[in-house]
């Protein structure tokens, strides 16, 4: 299906499931090479990163540890720009190599805040992996080590990303059709 409706909006196909999985394979190979001797801990940002993280991490070539945190900052189609709180942070990250996994880096405020929280726990290193980045929308310089797709500043849905809670289950990614 190339057009879908969610509530009051229509969306067109943007990235196919095949494109997404090919890209995740590439990222998983890079991470497998870079981290094979580092015994990293993956910290996954819920809810949006659940699908990306599960496919990414299941393709790694070594056993690893995974934990989950939760942050809320979006309502409708624009970032609120305010991070409410980071929930569920594992306190045992001292000396660990951490890879933070999120669905999308939009303003970059979420990742900046989460990274600062993690740095307080004195990890050996922290890098960020995201499926999608919107560089035009970044409010601060943010160093994202592993990026699946760089896209223009448009609202997307699917493969973990939602519009008002809907669409996370879609296997492809769709972009909003502005009226
Ligand atoms: P930030 O603006 O970089 O802090 O992004 C905050 C969060 O907003 C991301 O982790 C996503 O969950 C969500 N988000 C950003 N852009 C989109 C989008 O285009 N569609 C759906 N969710 C988005
Ligand atoms: Mg998110």
Measured in Å, residue 140 CA sits from the centre of ligand 2 at: 17
The minimum-distance atom of ligand 1 relative to the CA of 138 is: 3
Pocket test for ligand 1, best of 69, 79, 151 (most atoms within 8 A of CB): 79
Per-residue pLDDT 10s for the chain (179 aa) are 699 999 999 999 999 999 999 999 999 999 999 999 999 999 999 999 999 999 999 999 899 999 999 987 655 666 666 666 788 887 799 999 999 999 999 999 899 989 999 999 999 999 999 999 999 998 878 899 999 999 999 999 999 999 999 999 999 999 999 86
Ligand 2 being an ion, which residues bring their Cβ within 5 A of it? 48
Q: State pTM to two decimals.
A: 0.93
Can you tell me the distance from the alpha carbon of 176 to that of 18, in angstroms, rounded to the nearest whole number? 20
Residues 6+ positions from 155 with CB-CB distance below 8 Å:
77, 78, 163, 175, 176
Residues 6+ positions from 9 with CB-CB distance below 8 Å:
77, 163, 176, 177
H/E/C letters for each residue in 106-133?
Answer: CCCHHHHHHHHHHHCCCCCEEEEEEEEE
Can you tell me the distance from the alpha carbon of 153 to that of 150, in angstroms, rounded to the nearest whole number? 10
- Residues with beta carbon inside 6 Å of ligand 1? 48, 73-74, 79, 102-110, 155-157, 161-162
């Amino acid at each position: 299906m190339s057009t879908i409706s969610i509530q009051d909006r229509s969306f067109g196909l943007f990235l196919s499931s095949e494109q997404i999985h090919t890209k995740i394979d590439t990222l998983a190979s890079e991470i497998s090479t870079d981290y094979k001797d580092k015994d990293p801990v993956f910290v996954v940002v819920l809810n949006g990163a659940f699908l990306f993280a599960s496919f990414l991490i299941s393709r790694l070539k070594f056993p690893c540890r995974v934990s989950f945190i939760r942050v809320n900052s979006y309502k409708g189609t624009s970032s609120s720009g305010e991070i409410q709180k980071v929930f569920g942070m594992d306190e045992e990250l001292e000396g660990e190599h951490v890879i933070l996994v999120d669905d999308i880096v939009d303003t970059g405020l979420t990742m900046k805040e989460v990274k600062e929280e993690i740095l307080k726990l004195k990890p050996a290193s922290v890098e960020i992996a995201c499926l999608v980045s919107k560089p035009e929308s970044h409010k601060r310089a943010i160093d994202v080590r592993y990026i699946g797709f760089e896209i223009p500043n448009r609202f997307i849905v699917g493969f973990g990303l939602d519009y008002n809670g809907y669409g996370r289950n879609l296997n492809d990614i769709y972009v909003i059709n502005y009226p």
